Structure 1
Amino acid sequence: MSKRPRDRSWPPAPEPLPFAVVDNHTHLDTAGDLADGEAPPTLEAQLARAAAAGITGIVQIGCDLAAARWTDRVVREHRGLLGGVAVHPNEATLFAGARDVGPDGLVPAPRAEHARGLDAAITEIADLARGNDRIRVIGETGLDHFRSGEDGRAAQVESFRAHVALAKELGLALQIHDRDAHAEVLDVLARDGAPERTVFHCFSGDAEMARFAAARGWYLSFAGPLTFARNEPLRAALREAPLGQVLVETDAPYLTPHPYRGRPNAPYLAGLTMRTIAAVQGVDLEVACRAVAANSTTVYGTF
């Protein structure tokens, strides 16, 4: 019996939100990576579709050097975009020459530019951030224990600390990538001191971690996994976060919200997660949207 082919088409647009919000973390440079048989939408089409769904601001994240350069360019050209740039923790391992394997058993393939070394990569990120006032984020940076062994993890800590210092030096928000490394991420923040505006992108911690982060004034950003049926612990974490410290994101093109899990993701679908945020927090959708929109302005400024 043959398997039914997976649906990789673009999901339909959800009902527009009652008040516009910001998708505070997405990767528009990879739009269409999951779509089968459909041409990737243009950037202009992505922005228009998002705006029609009530997503009128988007924070584009470039976390390898090519994506960071692309981000630097497009945020200058489109007023609906702000940017974030960084060396992703998995990229940091490659720039440092670490090739040890993490729990998933995959060894990412290095590219020619990784021969430049980690210090040179972080220097380029710093130059991009200093040279463009529409870059408002240093990130995503942090730790990822899923795809690195001990050597790679040491390089990630070095990179993370450098990004924390850069965010504080430039007065920019920090977006943290934390995969299977909660205690280690918190340890770096405790030792080095978190920037004034610190965001846990695609928050994946438990209720205790949410309380810990909220008590320190950090922001928790929720993506599609919040909507998955088996993620009740993540919804319990959201209940511990004050609405004034909650953000919404897609992390597109992956992590598509229910009921379209596995299909391509894009900013126009952020409203599905926004509706879950409102329901879990037990507030009216418009109230939740207004709060999340205000939080986005506090963290990233105006578009």
Structure 2
Amino acid sequence: MTSKKREAPPVPEPLGSLVDAHTHLDACGATDEASLRTIVDRAASAGVGTIVTVADDLAAAELAVRLAHWDERVFAATALHPTRAQHLDDHAKSVLETLAEDERTVAVGETGLDFYWPGKLDGCAEIPDQEEAFRWHIDLAKRVSKPLMIHNREADDALIRVLKSEGAPETVIFHCFSSGPEMARLCIDEGWVLSLSGTVSFRNARALHEAATLIPAGQLLVETDAPYLTPHPYRGAPNESYCLPYTVQALAEIRGDDPAELAAATTATARGVYKL
């Protein structure tokens, strides 16, 4: 017997203007202007008026920039995901360099290191390939003077080592930050930006809850990472940018903040970080 797929969450009441700092519109079904507008309009009805859509392979990077040109509420981040780092050949580098310079691209990402999937996922890039690609993306972010958006899964120490050895770009964003307070303090001290997703609403994420209370508002973003990581109490249901207020509500409760004030603060940070 197959389990019944959970229904999409209801559209929440807006908390004010929000920026979804990291999502995957292509994976949410945005393939043309009509489908894109449906998703972005639904987000706007929940107060999420700006969306940064993020690529994980070359085709997705090209689509992300097209989506950003189709709707003024959408911006792009372009890179090869660490698990696809072995595909960073000369052709991919040339395409990514062009996309990174596009006026609608606001960050180089997601790039970084993923120590979870090698050996578990067929075709996943090995660690040396990931590190080489990460170093190239760091250099690209510097060359185009745009933020570096980092994917980090179970790779805290190695990731910091590479960033330190290469010299971090002016702005570094840790997308879907999921480490504990020690890593949070290190990133905060470096002036890096931490973006929190629906995982912060999960009841068993105690170390992340502690980390979330430490982040200054000027270094805090919120994201959906949709269609993944739907916040509690809708975990397991399809995620989309319109669900972002659920994460902000949960985060505000953890931090002891007013939800509307937290929404305004993260929006101001996003606009500054991405130069929106």
Query: Which TM-score tier does this pair reach, normalised by the shorter chain?
Result: over 0.9
Aligned to 1:90: 83
Report sequence identity in percent. Answer: 41
Deviations 1:239-283 (A, max 9, x none): 121122110000000111111111110000011111122222211
Aligned to 1:7: 5
Q: Give the whole-Å Cα distance in 1 for the aligned partners of 2:186 and 2:37.
A: 40
Question: What is the number of equivalent residue pairs in this alignment?
Answer: 269
Counterparts of 1:1-303 in structure 2, within 5 Å, are 5-17=3-15, 19-32=16-29, 42-93=35-86, 95=87, 118-130=89-101, 132-148=102-118, 152-302=126-276
Q: Which moved more, 1:146-155 or 1:173-182?
A: 146-155
Deviations 1:166-202 (A, max 9, x none): 1011110111000111111111111111111110000
| Structure 2 letter corresponding to 1:29 | D
- Assess if the C-alpha contact under 8 Å between 1:25 and 1:58 holds in 2: yes
| Structure 2 letter corresponding to 1:12 | P
Q: Give the whole-Å Cα distance in 1 for the aligned partners of 2:270 and 2:127.
A: 31
Structure 2 unaligned segments of length 5 or more: list them: none
TM-score (norm 2): 0.93
Bigger CA radius of gyration: 1
Task: Tell me the CA shift for residue 151 of structure 1.
Answer: 7.2
Q: Give the whole-Å Cα distance in 2 for the aligned partners of 1:8 and 1:119.
A: 42
Secondary structure of 2:200's partner?
helix
Secondary structure of 2:151's partner?
strand
Q: Give the whole-Å Cα distance in 1 for the aligned partners of 2:27 and 2:90.
A: 26
Secondary structure of 1:136's partner?
strand
Q: Give the whole-Å Cα distance in 1 for the aligned partners of 2:93 and 2:231.
A: 33
Give 4+ residue runs of structure 1 displaced > 4 Å after superposition: none
Secondary structure of 1:82's partner?
strand
Secondary structure of 2:49's partner?
strand
- Assess if the C-alpha contact under 8 Å between 1:248 and 1:274 holds in 2: yes
Deviations 1:111-151 (A, max 9, x none): xxxxxx53331221111112x11101100000011112597
- Assess if the C-alpha contact under 8 Å between 1:32 and 1:264 holds in 2: no
| Structure 1 letter corresponding to 2:228 | Y
Relative to structure 1, the CA distance from residue 181 to residue 70 in structure 2 (aligned partners, 3 Å threshold; closer, same or farther) is same
| Structure 1 letter corresponding to 2:78 | V
Deviations 1:208-241 (A, max 9, x none): 1101100111010000111011111111011121
Aligned to 1:112: none
Q: Give the whole-Å Cα distance in 2 for the aligned partners of 1:151 and 1:225.
A: 25
Secondary structure of 1:60's partner?
strand
| Structure 2 letter corresponding to 1:235 | H
Secondary structure of 2:4's partner?
coil
Task: Tell me the CA shift for residue 32 of structure 1.
Answer: 5.0
- Assess if the C-alpha contact under 8 Å between 1:32 and 1:253 holds in 2: no
